Amino acid sequence: MRDSVDATVGVQVRFFAAAAEAAGTDTATAQVARDSSLAQAAAQAGGCGNDLNRVLSVSSYLVGGLRESGEKRLADFADLDDLTIDVLPPFAGG
C-alpha cells in the first residue's frame, strides 16, 4: 500500500498570457495527487476558478520543453522530481 507521500507530488506551474491573468499569478506550486492530469494539476495550482478552467481547456502544456496532452497523468512521467508544467493558451497571431 502506498503511503501519503507516494500518493502526491509537488509541481510548479508557470502560467502564460491569458492563463496567468485567469490564475492571478504567473507561477504557482501545489501538492497534487500523482494520478492527476496535467490540466488538473494546473487547475489546482491556479485556484480552480471558472475563468482559469476555461483557459486551461484550450491551452497547450509543456513539460521539460515537450508538448504534452492536458490529459496526460503525472504518474506517466519517469521523473517527478522538480516537475514544472508550462501552460500556454492560444496566442493571437501566433
Is 94 part of a structural domain of the chain?
no
**Predicted pLDDT at 1:** 34
Domain that holds residue 14: 4-88
Average pLDDT along the chain, 94 residues, taken 10 residues at a time: 66 96 95 96 88 94 95 93 93 58
Distances in whole angstroms, Cα of residue 80 to Cα of each of 46, 69, 77, 87: 19, 17, 6, 17
Number of domains comprising the chain: 1
Is 35 part of a structural domain of the chain?
yes
Question: pTM above 0.85?
Answer: yes
Find the CATH number of the domain harbouring 28: 3.10.20.30
Label residues 9-22 b or e (16+ Cβ within 10 Å = b): bebebbbbbbbbeb
**Predicted pLDDT at 6:** 72
Is 72 part of a structural domain of the chain?
yes
Is 16 part of a structural domain of the chain?
yes
Is 93 part of a structural domain of the chain?
no
**Predicted pLDDT at 14:** 98
C-alpha cell at 25: 499569478
